[in-house]
A = this chain, B = another copy of it.
Amino acid sequence: MDFFDVIRTQRAMRRLKPDPVSDEDLWTILDAAIHAPSGGNTQGWNFVVIRDRAVKEKIGAWYLEAWDRAYGPRRDAMLEDAQAGRMFRSADYLANHLADVPALILATLQNRTGFGADVSHGASIYPAVQNLMLAARALGLGTTLTTLHRLHEQDVRELLGIPADVDTMALIPVGHPRGRFGEPQRVPAEKVTYWDRWGERKTRGG
Q: Which A residues lie at the B interface, using CB under 8 A?
A: 1-8, 10-12, 23, 27, 30-37, 39-41, 43, 45-52, 55, 70, 87, 115-116, 118-123, 125-127, 129-131, 133-135, 138, 144-145, 147, 150-151, 160-163, 167, 169-170, 183-189, 192-199, 204-205
Contacts and interface: CB of A to CB of B under 8 A. Distances in A.
A169 B10 CA distance: 23
- Of the candidates A50, A122, A144, A162, the one having the most CB atoms from chain B within 10 angstroms of its own CB is A122
- The oligomer's copy count stands at 2
B122 A48 contact: no
Contacts of A196: 48-52, 55, 160
19 contacts: A3-B5, A3-B134, A7-B134, A10-B37, A12-B37, A30-B189, A37-B145, A37-B184, A39-B147, A45-B192, A47-B192, A47-B193, A47-B194, A55-B196, A118-B119, A119-B121, A120-B147, A127-B130, A163-B198
Give the top 7 A-B pairs by smallest Cβ distance, nearest first.
A122-B122, A126-B126, A127-B130, A30-B189, A161-B198, A130-B130, A52-B196
A51 to B, nearest CB: 6
Nearest to A43: B187
A167 B122 CA distance: 13
A109 to B, nearest CB: 8
Contacts of A121: 119, 122
A135 B125 CA distance: 19
A7 B35 contact: yes
A130 to B, nearest CB: 4
Nearest to A135: B7
Nearest to A196: B52
A7 B31 CA distance: 9
